[in-house]
Amino acid sequence: MYESLKKTGVSFHLYIFTIDERAQNILTGLALDSVTPIPVREVEDAELLHVKQGRTVAEYCWTLKSSMIFYLMKTFGITLCTYLDGDLYFYSSPAILRDEMGDASIVLTPHRYTPKRDLTNVSGIYCAQYLAFKNDAHGRDALQWWRAKCIEWCFSGYHDGKSGDQMYLDDWLTRFHGVHALEHPGGGLGPWNVQQYSFQCDGGKIVGIEKRTHKQFEVVFYHFHFVRFLDDGYVELGDYNLSKDVIDILYVPYLRALESVNRKIQNIDGSFDPRGTRTRKRTPRSAITTLKRIVLGRNNIFRLKSLLA
C-alpha cells in the first residue's frame, strides 16, 4: 500500500501503528520515506487495556481506530487524517477523493455490494477501509462516539445490529453533521462489488467501466480483502466471483508487489514471514466447501508460481 501511494505522486505522510515490537523493529529497519511507525502502546489508555485481553488481534485493531486518529490529531496537530486499511493498493492519486470531500468533515466509503450478494444486513452500508476525518468539532464528535461504541463492543461477526467497528457507521449521515458518502466508484473497489465492472489498461492507468451504464472512471484503489498465502505454494483470493480480467489486471500485479515487499522484509528479519502463511486443512468439511465454491465459480485458489508466470 505504501509503495503504491508513492507511485501515484501524491503528497502524504503515513503513520503506521505497530501491534508488537517485531513489527516496530521491521518498519524502523526499512526506514521508509514519509513513514512514522508508532507502537500501539502510545495510544493505549486504561479503557483500551481493560478490553484488550478479551479480543483477538484483529478485533483489538478495529477497536483502536478512533483512538489512533485522536492521537495523531493531538500529537502532530493533523488537520485532516485519513485511515487506510493495510491491504489497499492505489492505482492513481487519492487527491480526487480528497477533492470530493470538499467542506465535509467526514468521508465514508460505501460497500456498493453486487446485488446478487448484498451483505449490507450483516456487514453494513459502509466499509471502514478508507475514512477521512477533519480535526474540527464535527470530526471529533463522531470519533468520540465511535470510540465509546467500539470499546463497549467490537467483535468479529454479526450480532444484534453490530459487526466489528463497521456497522456503527450506518447512520452517520443523519447522526452527525458534515458527513459525506464517497461517490467516486474508483474509490472503494473490492471483491464484494468488482463483478459490476470491467477493467482495461489505458496508458498506464487502470480504467473501470460500469457494466450497467458503460460509464468509465479512473480506478483509485482496490481493497484486496482475504488474500491468503498458503504454505503449500498456493494463494487464495477469497470466496468471490472474480473474472479472469480482474485477476490478471488487478490481482496479479498486486501479488507481484507483495512478493517484492516480502523479499525486502526478509532482509530485515529473515525469520519472519510477512505473508502470514498457514496450513490448509484437508477436511471433509473443507472438501464440501471447495466443491460448493467450484459450482458457484468462487474457488479462487491458485498455485502462486503459475499465476505469476
Cβ pair 29, 268 in contact under 8 A: yes
Share of the chain above pLDDT 90, in %: 87
Question: How sure is the predictor about 11, in pLDDT bands with cuts at 50, 70 and 90?
Answer: very high
**What is the grid cell recorded at 240?**
468471490
Question: How sure is the predictor about 233, in pLDDT bands with cuts at 50, 70 and 90?
Answer: confident
Structural domains of the chain sorted by starting position, each given as residue range(s) with its CATH number in brackets: 2-186 (3.90.550), 228-308 (no CATH)
Q: How far is the CA of 90 from the CAs of 97, 208, 259, in angstroms?
A: 12, 14, 17
**What is the grid cell recorded at 18?**
505497530
Stretch (H or E) spanning 57 = helix 57-76
Question: How sure is the predictor about 283, in pLDDT bands with cuts at 50, 70 and 90?
Answer: low
Q: Does the reported pTM lie above 0.85? A: yes
In this predicted structure, the answer to whether residue 306 has a pLDDT above a threshold of 70 is yes
Question: How sure is the predictor about 278, in pLDDT bands with cuts at 50, 70 and 90?
Answer: low
Among residues 263, 262, 277, which one has the least CA distance to residue 227?
A: 277
In this predicted structure, the answer to whether residue 160 has a pLDDT above a threshold of 90 is yes
